[in-house]
Amino acid sequence: MNGRFKLFGAFLVLAIVAAACQPAAAPTAVPAPISAPTATVAPTSAGGTLTVFAAASLTAAFGDIAKSFESANPGTKVTFSFAGSQQLRTQIEQGAPADVFASADNKNMDPLKSEGLIVGNPQIFTRNRLVVILPKNNPAGIKTLQDLAKPGLKLDIADASVPVGNYTLQALDKLSADPAYGADFKTQVLARVVSKENDVKQVVAKIALGEADAGVVYTTDAQAAIDKLTTIDIPDQFNVIAAYPIAVVKSSAHPALAQKFIDLVLSADGQAVLKKYGFAAR
């Protein structure tokens, strides 16, 4: 009997050992849940910041146009850099971020077109003309254009690189070609210049403060400060008409919005604002 139990125990041990030596079954992989594809939604914009580089003479008119533009385009903010067109042109050439450029002459717009820095062909959107300005009390007693050549006179004009300064020189050329003024009239007038400014607003400010006896600016700038100034008209045959071009800057971050701003400037509403500030039709 004991022998049978011993034999049975031996078989049982062998069975247990054999079972232990069998390789473990690989666990059954549980399939990962299938997730739904994620949709990529393109960001939308309700507006943006539009940067406009504009000639200093446009400050007031473009300020009004910007208000209308922002109202018609919710979420859009128009910011400006007003200065002499020559300064703005240089900044654009150096990579300054701008969406729109409005110049007071083609001289500073044409190079940007040649350099491929603006889109398409610039459009003339308004015009301007020149006028002589004097301090309100006119201490030098200037009554005519001929008086601009008087000895001792202090004259303040814009630098020749500034559109209004270049236009001033052109007007002096026309005056000097008239026998009533004489061939040396331009030379005599320029000899009275005591300061040359970087934009038209600086000329207006100095004359209004009485720092010079006379200056030459656009009629629009004279109109804006008429309570502080006296003016002398420059007849049509001697005057120079300033043409103002506008264009989208090639590097604009908002080219469609920039074009919308230009469209407003060219529209009847935009032209009405410019006319209110003394600008002539384009």
* pLDDT, tens digit (0-9, with 9 covering 90-100), for 49-101: 999 999 999 999 999 999 999 999 999 999 999 999 999 999 999 999 999 99
Contact assessment for residue 63 and residue 273, using Cβ atoms and an 8 Å cutoff: no
> pTM of the prediction?
0.82
Spatial separation of the C-alpha atoms in residues 168 and 157, rounded to whole Å: 8
Tokens 């701003």 locate to: 261
123 and 104 together in one domain? yes
Spatial separation of the C-alpha atoms in residues 218 and 165, rounded to whole Å: 10
213 and 153 together in one domain? yes
130 pLDDT band, cuts 50/70/90, is very high
138 pLDDT band, cuts 50/70/90, is very high
117 and 250 together in one domain? yes
User: How many CB atoms neighbour CB 112 within 10 A?
Assistant: 21
pLDDT of amino acid 144: 97
Pairing state of beta strands 214-218 and 193-197? unpaired
Residue 39 lies in a domain: no
Spatial separation of the C-alpha atoms in residues 134 and 153, rounded to whole Å: 12
* pLDDT, tens digit (0-9, with 9 covering 90-100), for 156-203: 999 999 999 999 999 999 999 999 999 999 999 999 999 999 999 999
Spatial separation of the C-alpha atoms in residues 36 and 236, rounded to whole Å: 75
Pairing state of beta strands 214-218 and 130-135? antiparallel
How high is the mean pLDDT of the chain? 88
- Answer yes or no: is pLDDT of 5 > 60: no
CATH number reported for the structural domain that contains residue 78 in this entry:
3.40.190.10
